[in-house]
Amino acid sequence: MHGRNFSGARAVLAWAEQPVEWWPLTPDDNPVITAALMAAGCYSDRFGYWWKWFPERVRIGAPEWILDGDMVITGAPRWFEQWCSSRDGIRVTQDDAWNINELYGEYLELVDREKRLYSGLISLPPDLAYLPAMLEVLRATPLAYGHDGRINMSEQGIVACAFDALGAVPIPLSEFPFGRAFEEQLNYGLAGPNPNSWGYHFGNAFRRENSHFRRLTAEGQIFWLDNEPPPEERFRWLMNRGQWGSPGWSMHPACVKRIAGLAQQYAGRPVLEIGTSRGFLSAIMAACGAVVTTVDKTDRGASENLKDMGIRVVVSDAVDFLRANESRFSLLVVDLHDNSAEVWDVLWPLVTECVSLDGVLVLYNTHLWKMSEWSEETGLRWITETPPPGWSTDIFSEPAPGMIVCRRMPNELSLRADGLLASVQAAREELSKSWFGRELLKTGSNGR
């Protein structure tokens, strides 16, 4: 993702069923390509097609796809298993039907006209660096001065030359057809429709309505949601599982839904989360209307993921934050990876102190000690057996690793109110012992 349109990116990611890592791009993410573009008088506001190569790769040690944002994958290619297991080579999409004079800019004469590769989708094996091949093309034939990456097709010509030199195998247009907005029919290339097709490239979809996309959606060939998902589903892309699942994992969906309901009850009121991770729960609570502060000793991308959502992201040890904190929170959620007795001996008095009188304290990982791999994390075992004085508890041992919702008991609120009233009465009695105090009490009773 290029630029700082965080809300727009989150609107797209709201559809994700699996965790996603986004990367707001800058020219520094590929300094050598930036230098080549700048030398051609092309500045970052005109990088256009080139942003796709920033950075060169995200995970060099894993198989990877790089593809245009107007592509939709609808199936698995026949070679997908080999790719997943790192046994496949380089593959690049092919366009054997479009006017070749409009495909490659000033690099047309250098391109293999039989392969006719184009830079829509690149399938890469692990540990392959393609940037040197692109730079070799640029070294031999630099970009013409005045280059505009939003319009000129030079990028596609350089990519075709570079990946041809690396031995890329074409992905036939018949398997991944074009659905250009300005064409009446899907373009399957010279070979025609292929029963093994597994995706579509909806050209010009960012510039105008694409009827091919709408038709395929209506036919059920492409998944589409008509309504915005609820908050607990809208931020699945921020869940901490899969390749982002260590340490720990994201909260179970049943528990997330329970907390989302609480956050809606406290809309407009201050809420605290301890254990931010990637920002999954913070985003949900904010979307429910709560005023969220979230604390974690490490920033795992949350400050970027939650940008412009009105969430206060604090990088701090939880104990240090709570000791310095003077605020009270209507909802406090604690989701830590270390739930040892030593941690909770210190943490329990601090978290209970900063919950408002009518607030709720939610503890996650309360039954972690029941799981053999974390049997030593017994810091919350006591609360699963006996409610703390002055608190009532709703205990959810399942789904693992467990959750407890704590509320102050009504008599605790009464005791605090009675204590406050007694303090006020004692102060009045003390004032009444002096002439000045009696006059002060008279002034107060007269409303002046």
Q: Give per-residue pLDDT as tens, 48-79.
A: 999 999 999 998 999 999 999 999 999 999 99
Same domain assignment for residues 178 and 95: yes
pLDDT of residue 337: 85
Domain that holds residue 306: 231-408
Residue type at 365 in one-letter notation: N
Task: Please classify residue 364 by burial: count the beta carbons closer than 10 Å to its beta carbon, then call 0-12 exposed, 13-18 middle and 19+ buried.
Answer: buried
- Residue 423 predicted with pLDDT over 70: no
Same domain assignment for residues 66 and 184: yes
* 153 domain residue, yes or no: yes
* 226 domain residue, yes or no: no
Question: For 91-118, what is the mean pLDDT?
Answer: 96
Q: How many residues does the chain have?
A: 448
* 156 domain residue, yes or no: yes
Same domain assignment for residues 257 and 183: no
pLDDT tens-digit readout, 284-323 = 999 999 999 999 999 999 999 999 999 999 999 999 999 9
| Short-list 351, 368, 373, 349, CA closest to 360 | 351
* 325 domain residue, yes or no: yes
* 225 domain residue, yes or no: no
**Residues of the chain above pLDDT 90, percent:** 78
- Residue 428 predicted with pLDDT over 80: no
- Residue 270 predicted with pLDDT over 70: yes
Backbone angles phi, psi at 272, to 5 degrees: -120, 135
pLDDT of residue 448: 40
Read off the CATH number of the domain in which 262 is found.
3.40.50.150
The number of C-alpha atoms within 13 Å of 300 and in the hemisphere containing its C-beta is 20
pLDDT tens-digit readout, 117-149 = 999 999 999 999 999 999 999 999 999 999 999
Taking the C-alpha atoms of residue 91 and residue 269, their distance in angstroms, rounded to an integer, is 52
Same domain assignment for residues 64 and 202: yes
Same domain assignment for residues 239 and 213: no
User: Which band of pLDDT confidence, cut at 50, 70 and 90, is reported for residue 432?
Assistant: low
* Residues forming beta bridges with residue 394, ordered by sequence position: 405
Same domain assignment for residues 257 and 164: no
- Residue 157 predicted with pLDDT over 60: yes
Same domain assignment for residues 170 and 266: no
Same domain assignment for residues 300 and 359: yes
Which residues are CB-contacts of 103 (< 8 A; sequence separation ≥ 6)?
95, 111, 116, 118, 153, 156, 157, 160
User: Which band of pLDDT confidence, cut at 50, 70 and 90, is reported for residue 21?
Assistant: confident
Please name the residue ranges forming H helices in 71-201: 80-84, 131-140, 154-165
Question: Is pLDDT larger for residue 17 or for residue 131?
Answer: 131
Q: Is 274 left (phi over 0), alpha (psi -120 to 50) or beta?
A: beta
* 66 domain residue, yes or no: yes
Backbone angles phi, psi at 249, to 5 degrees: -150, 165
The helix (run of H) or strand (run of E) holding residue 444 is helix 435-445
Same domain assignment for residues 213 and 305: no
Domain count, the chain: 3
Same domain assignment for residues 281 and 395: yes
| Short-list 157, 144, 149, 155, CA closest to 45 | 149
- Residue 183 predicted with pLDDT over 50: yes
Most confident of 123-132, 223-232, 243-252: 123-132
- Residue 425 predicted with pLDDT over 80: no
- Residue 414 predicted with pLDDT over 80: no
pLDDT tens-digit readout, 74-94 = 999 999 999 999 999 999 999
Same domain assignment for residues 168 and 80: yes
Same domain assignment for residues 147 and 240: no
The helix (run of H) or strand (run of E) holding residue 14 is none
* 388 domain residue, yes or no: yes
* 118 domain residue, yes or no: yes
